[in-house]
Amino acid sequence: MNVRLMNSNEKIAAVLASTLKLIQTNGFHGTPMSKIAQESDVAIGTIYHYFPSKDDLIFALFKHCRALLNDYIFDGIKDDFSYKDSFYHVWRNFVKFYLENGHVFSFFEQFFSSPYYEKNKAEIQEPVGGQNKVVDFLQEGIDRKILKQVNVHLLVASYIGVALSTVHSIKFKDLSFSEQNMEELIGIIWDGAINREKNN
Amino acid sequence: MNVRLMNSNEKIAAVLASTLKLIQTNGFHGTPMSKIAQESDVAIGTIYHYFPSKDDLIFALFKHCRALLNDYIFDGIKDDFSYKDSFYHVWRNFVKFYLENGHVFSFFEQFFSSPYYEKNKAEIQEPVGGQNKVVDFLQEGIDRKILKQVNVHLLVASYIGVALSTVHSIKFKDLSFSEQNMEELIGIIWDGAINREKNN
DNA sequence: TGCAACCGAATGAACGTTCGATTGATGAAT
DNA sequence: ATTCATCAATCGAACGTTCATTCGGTTGCA
Superfamily of domain B66-193: Tetracycline Repressor, domain 2 (1.10.357.10)
B146 shares contact with chain A (CB less than 8 Å): no
Interfacial B residues in 72-101 facing A (CB < 8 Å): none
Phi, psi angle pair for A147, to nearest 5°:
-100, 165
Whether A44 CB is under 7 Å from strand D: yes
The candidate with the shortest Cα–Cα distance to A50, out of A16, A83, A97, is: A16
Interfacial B residues in 11-70 facing A (CB < 8 Å): 25-30
A76 backbone φψ class: left, alpha, beta (φ>0; ψ -120 to 50): left
Whether A43 CB is under 7 Å from strand D: yes
Spatial distance from the CA of A14 to the C1' of C15 (Å) = 22
At residue A3, the pLDDT reads 41
Pick B175's closest partner by Cβ from A114, A157, A192: A157
At residue B134, the pLDDT reads 94
Pick A191's closest partner by Cβ from B27, B116, B192: B192
Q: B141-160, pLDDT tens digit by residue?
A: 999 999 999 999 999 999 99
Class of domain A65-193 (CATH, top level): mainly alpha
Q: A21-37, pLDDT tens digit by residue?
A: 999 999 999 999 999 99
Phi, psi angle pair for A31, to nearest 5°:
-120, 85
Burial classification of residue A137, based on how many CB atoms lie within 10 Å of its CB (0-12 exposed, 13-18 middle, 19 or more buried): buried
Helical ranges in chain B per DSSP H: 8-26, 33-40, 44-50, 54-73, 83-100, 102-113, 115-124, 132-143, 152-171, 179-193
Which part of chain A has CATH 1.10.10.60?
A: 1-51
Which part of chain A has CATH 1.10.357.10?
A: 65-193
Alpha-carbon span B188 to B190, nearest angstrom: 5
Phi, psi angle pair for B75, to nearest 5°:
-80, 145
* Contact between B93 and B75 (Cβ < 8 Å): yes
Q: B148-196, pLDDT tens digit by residue?
A: 999 999 999 999 999 999 999 999 989 999 999 999 999 999 999 999 9
At residue B6, the pLDDT reads 76
Whether A29 CB is under 7 Å from strand D: no
The predicted model scores a pTM of 0.92
Whether A2 CB is under 7 Å from strand C: no
**Other CB atoms closer than 10 Å to residue A30's CB: what's the count?**
14
At residue B197, the pLDDT reads 79
At residue B198, the pLDDT reads 52
Chain A's closest residue to B31, CA to CA, is: A115
A window 4-63: Cβ near strand C (< 7 A): 4, 29-34, 44-45, 48, 52-55
> For the structural domain made of B1-51, what CATH number should be given?
1.10.10.60
Q: With a cut of 70, which residues of chain A have pLDDT below it?
A: 1-5, 125-131, 198-200
Amino acid code (one letter) for B121: K
Which part of chain B has CATH 1.10.357.10?
A: 66-193
Mean pLDDT of B90-108: 98
